[in-house]
Structure 1
């Protein structure tokens, strides 16, 4: 069966082709202007940040040589040729790594509880009054804007050296981050169940409990697990300011040029984060289905 293809008249076809060429030209011009603006902004940012490629390539060898040194033992052999000597302080390091995990766990738990209590007040569709939403949002912004290690330094000065400063710093930063994420989850919730419950005379707290919370609890748990994984990395470096954990031992090894100790501690931290990532991914899959792992 043959089919005929109708052809437009010449003038109409020429007009369409001309309009198409103009549209393609405008699109290409926008792409070129955007690329030029991107390059200009990139150059200005590099100048402002004092990015010097000459310095980078001149001293890049120092970066490579440092990694070469941390992969050697004191006798000059590679670290993997003598594993017991490489991990000579394994018992002490595991104890401090356990302290890091406890810091991140307690800090995440406290931050999650605070974020859970505040996020309904920060969400646009559930906050009782606008002024309260404004105040809570600003508090959450402050908590997540200041780096966690700065909070740790402040708490070390206030409460002294030790894990307590790390717990408080992680809890405060987690409150700001999860409070923002939780409130966004709430703002995407269906409000029709809330209207139904409020029509029965239920108060605001009951509406949140029975209409909103069942919709958002899965997102809360998923974000909390992800934040715990992030907080393990955060807690690993808070020892640099005396907030406890494996970071304190890592800082000592760096300052005293114990190169093989640096690599051993880094391996322990990386493996721990890998295991936590795998574990939290498996847990999310068990709680919310296989699609939650991706």
Structure 2
């Protein structure tokens, strides 16, 4: 059976086409205006930050020349021609890299545990008192606003050189970051189970334990694994301020111009981060029911 398609009269069709073209023109003008404002803001910010394009162009080659230098041995040969000479200190470097991983692990786990306790108070739908939520949120903002390397520097001054400063710095910064993410997960849960548990006469802690936590635990674990990845990178440079780990050896190599050592240590850090990234990504996909790849 053939279907008949009715067409609008030419006058109505022309009016609709004109309205469509006008709407498209307005949309393009708004987009062009937005791009223009963004470019102008970028240029003003660059001037304010004293970004000198001339200097950038003139000295851009130094970037490549440095990388060319760190991939050469003292003899002038390429590092991959003599791996034994390139990774001469691998035993000590791996030990320090393991220390970096332990700093990240202990700091992340400590921060996650504190975040688990505080996020229920920081979430709008589960906070027992508005004033308590306000106080906890401001505390968490301080924890995540101050960079972890600044915390590390403060703790190095307070407790001396070593991994303890790095662990404390990562733990505090992770508490602030994870508690915010955990609270956002809690604010998006289904509140019906909470109401059901509360209707039995259960207290606030029981509601969190039996109604909120089961809904949010997978998200908590996923964000904790992601934070561990970030903290491994952060802990790798905390050695610059004396907070332990592979960063201490890296900063010594940079300051003493041990070029091939710099590339060897950087390669170890990059490979480690790749492995952790792939492993934790696989675990996170399992937590959210992703398909195996």
Cα–Cα, structure 1 residues 249 and 29, in superposed 2: closer, same or farther, change >3 Å?
same
Aligned length: 293
Which has the larger displacement, 64-73 or 24-33? 24-33
Give the Cα separation in 2 of the matches to 1:14 and 1:278: 56
Give the Cα separation in 1 of the matches to 2:202 and 2:155: 42
Where does 1:78-89 land on structure 2 (aligned, <5 Å)? 78-89=78-89
Q: Secondary structure at the match of 2:110?
A: helix
Matched, 1:281 2:293: no
Shift of 1:15: 2.3
Structure 1: state its 5+ residue gaps.
Answer: none
Give the Cα separation in 1 of the matches to 2:143 and 2:188: 23
Q: Deviations over 1:80-109 (max 9, x none)?
A: 000000000001111111111111111011
Equivalent residue, structure 2, for 1:93: 93
Kept after mapping to 1: 8 A contact 2:166/2:238: yes
Q: Deviations over 1:10-40 (max 9, x none)?
A: 3323322222222122111111111111111
Equivalent residue, structure 2, for 1:18: 18
Equivalent residue, structure 1, for 2:177: 177
Q: Secondary structure at the match of 1:74?
A: coil
Q: Deviations over 1:55-86 (max 9, x none)?
A: 11100111110000000000000000000000
Shift of 1:286: 4.3
Where does 1:238-249 land on structure 2 (aligned, <5 Å)? 238-249=238-249
Shift of 1:3: 4.0
Equivalent residue, structure 2, for 1:145: 145
Give the Cα separation in 2 of the matches to 1:8 and 1:55: 63
Equivalent residue, structure 2, for 1:55: 55
Cα–Cα, structure 1 residues 240 and 205, in superposed 2: closer, same or farther, change >3 Å?
same
Shift of 1:178: 0.2
Kept after mapping to 1: 8 A contact 2:253/2:261: yes
Equivalent residue, structure 2, for 1:165: 165
Equivalent residue, structure 2, for 1:74: 74
Structure 2: state its 5+ residue gaps.
Answer: none
Matched, 1:105 2:105: yes
Shift of 1:287: 4.2
Shift of 1:290: 2.9
Where does 1:113-128 land on structure 2 (aligned, <5 Å)? 113-128=113-128
Give the Cα separation in 2 of the matches to 1:8 and 1:237: 68
Give the Cα separation in 1 of the matches to 2:282 and 2:45: 41
Shift of 1:159: 0.7
Equivalent residue, structure 1, for 2:260: 260
Equivalent residue, structure 1, for 2:223: 223
Give the Cα separation in 1 of the matches to 2:215 and 2:240: 41
Give the Cα separation in 2 of the matches to 1:141 and 1:217: 23
Give the Cα separation in 1 of the matches to 2:73 and 2:216: 52
Cα–Cα, structure 1 residues 285 and 7, in superposed 2: closer, same or farther, change >3 Å?
closer
Q: Secondary structure at the match of 1:244?
A: coil
Q: Secondary structure at the match of 1:290?
A: coil
Shift of 1:5: 3.4
Give the Cα separation in 2 of the matches to 1:119 and 1:140: 9
Give the Cα separation in 1 of the matches to 2:279 and 2:28: 47
Kept after mapping to 1: 8 A contact 2:222/2:287: no
CA-based RMSD of the aligned residues comes to: 1.4
